[in-house]
Amino acid sequence: MKILATAELPQENRLKLKNLFPEDEFIFCSNMEEAEAYLSNVEILITYGNDLTEPLIQKASKLKWIMVIAAGVDQLPFEEINKRGILVTSAKGIHKAPMSEYVFFVLMLVYRKGKVLIENEKNKIWTRDIHMEEITNKTMLIAGTGVLGREIAKIAKAFQMKTIGVSRSGRQIEYFDKNIAFKEMNKYLNEADFIVSILPSTPETKGFFQYKHFELMPEHAVFVNIGRGDAVSGEDVLKAVCEKEISHAVLDVFEQEPLPKNHPFWEEENITVTTHLSGVSPHYFDRALEIFSENFKKYKSNSKDMINIVDVIQGY
């Protein structure tokens, strides 16, 4: 069986795959430009997902399975994939440790005045006249109750937080005190001290958070977006902070990336910008390829019980 990787994998991970599956042929490339020559002869593709187009899918005439070694799959050409009946799986869940850690890191950065402390240290200023808050016993509303949402809610419980989960169905999920459907969210925003968006990019979630939602949040609320940048308009976030509808926004994802150097987010004191790195981890490839390996074993045995099968109609 021929497997093509368009994502540049570390040497140790390449060797591990070859040793695990010695009967199969792996072709490792650094990018799609290098890999394109092999597309027409491979059955399985390992990719980040952002390098695939309809013409490339058409060229891959023997392709049966796409393994996206990322959690998000929104950049895939789903119409062509669906037309061909190609199986898609993702690495959903591999970011739950780094991204959940990130959420509590940035909340404490805001509430414990981390930026001020670092600036004072830099300028050799000794003062205890800094107003700090606690994140303990607060209420957190999490938009998205999948693997990552559950992990964030689980850790929130260590801080004795009340957790509200928002999802399409509103079905009950472990670690959430209350689960609500998207359409019910407005009724609960005024309770939330922290609002965390981990929404994927789908037609239903694009522009999900609007200015009217920020108006419903408490003035002291902190909004964190680590899902997709198009879940909220940057203009709405900026206006909400400037008009003091919320006290702070922490943004790791944006409508346009990289964020332009002249963007007002960089200068706004009550907006914290990080550069789409909440999921960064030294264990990234190990975790992603562990999912691939488990799925490959199942694929070879014709098992339908594969991990993280993507609904190519819904797009996630």
Domains and CATH numbers, the chain: 2-94+282-300 (3.40.50.720), 96-273 (3.40.50.720)
pLDDT of residue 220: 98
Contacts of 251 (CB under 8 A, 6+ apart): 224, 225, 229, 237, 265, 271, 272, 273, 274
Distance of CA 108 to the CA centre of its chain: 20
- Residue 48: pLDDT band (50, 70, 90) is very high
Judge whether residue 314 has pLDDT over 90. Answer: no
- Measured from the Cβ of residue 207, the count of other Cβ atoms closer than 10 Å reads 12
Instruction: Classify the phi-psi angles of 315: left when phi > 0, otherwise alpha if psi is within -120 to 50, otherwise beta.
Output: left
* Calpha distance 201→139 (Å, rounded): 25
Give the C-alpha distances (Å, rounded to integers) separating 248 from 132, 141, 239, 251, 257. Answer: 14, 15, 11, 10, 21
Backbone φ and ψ of 11, nearest 5°: -55, -40
- Residue 71: pLDDT band (50, 70, 90) is confident
* Calpha distance 51→306 (Å, rounded): 23
Contacts of 275 (CB under 8 A, 6+ apart): 252, 258, 259
- Residue 5: pLDDT band (50, 70, 90) is very high
- Residue 249: pLDDT band (50, 70, 90) is very high
pLDDT of residue 240: 98
Closest CA to 166 of 177, 158, 157: 177
pLDDT tens-digit readout, 7-35: 999 999 999 999 999 999 999 999 999 99
Closest CA to 180 of 210, 172, 224, 223: 172
pLDDT more than 90, % of the chain: 97
pLDDT tens-digit readout, 251-274: 999 999 999 999 999 999 999 999
Judge whether residue 232 has pLDDT over 90. Answer: yes
**Residue in the block written with tokens 């187009």:** 53
Q: Cα-Cα-Cα-Cα dihedral of 100, 106, 112, 116, to 10°?
A: 160
Structure token pair of residue 14: 């390449």
Distance of CA 269 to the CA centre of its chain: 25
**Cis? peptide before 258, omega within 30° of 0:** yes
